Amino acid sequence: MKVVITGAAGKLGSAICRQLRESHEIVGVDVLGEVDLVLDVTEYESCRLLLKRAKPDLVLHTAAWTDVNGCALDPARALRINGQGTSNLAAVSAQLGIPMLYVSTNEVFDGKTSRPYSEYDRPNPINGYGYSKWYGERALGQINPQHYIVRTAWLFAHGGGNFVQAILDAAAAETPLRVVINEVANPTYTEDLAAAIAQLIETERFGIYHLVNEGIASRWQFARFVLDQAGYGETGIERISRHQWQRPSLPPEYSALANLAGANIGIRLRPWQASVSAFLQSEGYSS
Ligand SMILES: NC(=O)c1ccc[n+]([C@@H]2O[C@H](COP(=O)([O-])OP(=O)(O)OC[C@H]3O[C@@H](n4cnc5c(N)ncnc54)[C@H](OP(=O)(O)O)[C@@H]3O)[C@@H](O)[C@H]2O)c1
């Protein structure tokens, strides 16, 4: 299969490119970075020319403005990149008869629940990032009938710039750690998600999927597990409530996802603790 992957320089996009290159023809695109082609998804004509020339069998759209605080401060920009950028790709892929997969987020939900959200639960975003990603979901759902929408949560990846690395860096620098106890979701390893997406695109079972590592955790439990596994068992973490961690973008409180649709067709991700251990091991940490 020939696949155009947007966000190819990003955490998830680069993991997907690496894994799919083994058995597919890949065209990795991004606004910047070491990619096959440069593409700004907010430019409709650039999207049209690229897909017309490349003639892929699938558009796999991971590109996004993922700075959640930036999205809260500039919701119009969030909507332009995450919402309208997705709508551009949806329109062009639909015109050319190409299926499209869009990676979305647990932040499309409002977090006012106490059980993991299923694929059939109703989104109700509460911040600029969540709203812009939901706009993208609805655009794709309405424009291109051949779509997969893959919601995921709390990604960690090789190469830094994520929660696990921030916790490890703080522990190494002996910086006092304060972590929120009442935000809950599913820590998810980009390598596991990339493998699950590789499975999904072979199925042509279009629809909404919640692909996350199995199990749930609070931010505090996630951080505690990382430190214990990485040999920082003695490092303390102060437990704080989400309102003690002031941010421009308040995330949903309980935004864990349940993988029902994927499991139904044999796509499951291992428990998050096993993924964190594998990740730490490959980064050279051991408990
Ligand atoms: N990270 C998480 O915890 C998480 C959780 C749930 C869902 N997701 C979703 O998963 C997907 C991948 O996330 P990630 O963590 O891998 O994000 P990431 O590392 O920030 O990668 C996103 C990539 O998209 C690029 N991009 C930004 N604006 C663009 C534009 N206008 N045109 C083309 N490319 C553009 C970014 O470039 P610049 O870096 O130069 O801006 C970046 O290389 C996103 O759709 C995100 O919404 C992420």
Domains of the chain are 2-160+187-214+256-272 (3.40.50.720)
Ligand 1 centroid from CA 63, angstroms? 4
Q: What pLDDT, in 10s, does the model give residues 229-241?
A: 999 999 999 999 9
pLDDT in tens, 82-113: 999 999 999 999 999 999 999 999 999 999 99
SS3 state of residue 165 = helix
> In ligand 1, which atom is closest to the CA atom of 151?
7
Residue 185, ligand 1, Cβ within 6 A: no
pTM higher than the cut 0.75: yes
Encode pLDDT of 201-232 as tens digits: 999 999 999 999 999 999 999 999 999 999 99
The Cα-based distances of 180 to 189, 239, 246, 274 in angstroms read 20, 6, 11, 22
For residue 160, the CA-to-ligand 1 centroid distance in Å is 14
> Which residue among 18, 19, 27, 31 is best mutated to probe the pocket of ligand 1, counting the most ligand atoms within 8 A of its Cβ?
31
What is the model's pLDDT at position 44? 98
pLDDT tens-digit readout, 24-74: 999 999 999 888 999 999 999 999 999 999 999 999 999 999 999 999 999
For residue 12, give the H/E element and its range.
helix 11-20
Nearest to 154 by CA among 192, 188, 182: 188
Q: How far is the CA of 44 from the centre of ligand 1 (A)?
A: 18
- Which residue from 5, 30, 117, 165 has its CB within 8 A of the most atoms of ligand 1, so it is best to mutate? 30
Cβ count near 247 (within 10 Å): 11
Is the pLDDT score of 287 beyond 70?
no
